[in-house]
Amino acid sequence: MVTIKDIARHSQVSTATVSRILNNDPSLSVSEETRKRVLAIVDELDYKPLRKKSVKVKKQEEAYNIGVIMLNDETIDPYFQSIRLGAEDACNQYPLRIVSTMIVGKSQITADSVSDLDGLIVIGDVDIADLKGIYAHNNNIIAVDYVPKDTNIDVVISDFEGATELVISYLLELGHTDIAYIGGKGEIYGVSKFKTSDKEDTRQRTFEKTMKEKGLYNPEKVLIGEWSTASGYTLTKQLLEMNDLPSAIVVGSDPTAVGVLRALHEAEIRVPEDVSIFSYDDIEAAAYMNPPLSTVKVYGDEMGKTAVKLLYDRLKGRTIPLKVILPAELVIRDSVIAKTY
């Protein structure tokens, strides 16, 4: 098969010159004699240009419009912010666009506000059945940090059960047997912020189960209130009124632990010398508390990213629901030491 290189060799010109002559390049500066010589050799060698293969250009996929519904205001709990930011970051990798972020109890979440959305990422204990009352046209709903009764919904959660078992095991290894728990109530809310039911909180349930198995459970030292700094402060005051200080306290979230530390400081109880504190979430501020807080690292950003991946998969046709459990790990800092006798 004759090539442009063959023509160039016979014509004693460059391959670029041959190519430009064959393509009638008007900017090419060669003599008419050279042009005729090249074209004559083309005829002599019976050169047939290769047909260009047609290249199919993939049409850019149209972006899907999605919404995020959050139970808690992220200014109150940074954990929820990390999930949302993770989702936003993942949307840059997929043809998904977050066009609406709604907070239960603060935003008007109505059929009109969600009707044009291709899918929803729901963060927190939001009643999916209640949500489906206004968003019923598809099952493109991803529940994050909550396992709904609706088994046809994709779920992304952290392994709080395994993490709680690790926390207790770690404290027992350090000699702590008198361990209290301070946390929040498990409550499910409709989109209008009305509570629809209670639920078991995995951290509390696993704490109670594990401590019972060890023969160390004391129901009086399990104090449950709201998921807030103020509640952590109030519940710790109640614990101190018992005049039976535990050697360690497991706290259900870092923001709640801020209140716990404040109450202990006011009572002149030293952390960790008098009582060790272990919490959950590993928010950015945890490393800068006094003392730096030992906590369960929860990968909120990865939860958000995983939710986006699952939602995109749903939008592309998957109908089988998936449940993804992300690992959680212990971050050991200065708020926990071995029990001193």
Residue 61 pLDDT: 67
Residue 35 pLDDT: 82
Residues 161, 84, 101: CA angle, nearest 5 degrees: 125
Q: Half-sphere exposure (CA, 13 Å, Cβ side) for 13?
A: 22
Residue 53 pLDDT: 45
**Residues 6 or more apart whose Cβ sits within 8 Å of residue 153:** 128, 139, 141, 142, 143, 321
The reported pTM is 0.77
Helices (H) and strands (E) in the chain, counts: 11, 14
Torsion of CA 334, 336, 338, 341, to 10 degrees: 110
Cα–Cα dist 303/318, whole Å: 19
Residue 82 pLDDT: 92
**Residues 6 or more apart whose Cβ sits within 8 Å of residue 312:** 64, 94, 95, 96
Residue 49 pLDDT: 65
Cα–Cα dist 96/313, whole Å: 11
Position 293, amino acid: L
Whole-angstrom CA distances from 304 to 76, 80, 120, 143 are 18, 9, 12, 10
3-state secondary structure of 225: strand
Residue 28 pLDDT: 66
Domains located in the chain, CATH noted: 4-45 (no CATH), 64-158+300-326 (3.40.50.2300), 160-186+198-297 (3.40.50.2300)
Cα–Cα dist 248/153, whole Å: 38
DSSP secondary structure, 293-306, as one string: PEEEE--HHHHHHH
pLDDT, mean of each 10-residue run, the chain (341 residues): 79 76 68 84 77 43 89 76 93 93 89 93 93 90 92 94 97 98 93 85 96 97 95 97 96 96 97 97 93 96 97 95 95 95 72
Residue 76 pLDDT: 67
- Helices 229-241, 254-266: axis angle to 10 degrees equals 40
Neighbours of 257 (CB within 10 A): 30
Contact 265, 236 (CB under 8 A): no
Cα–Cα dist 88/96, whole Å: 9
Residue 205 pLDDT: 96
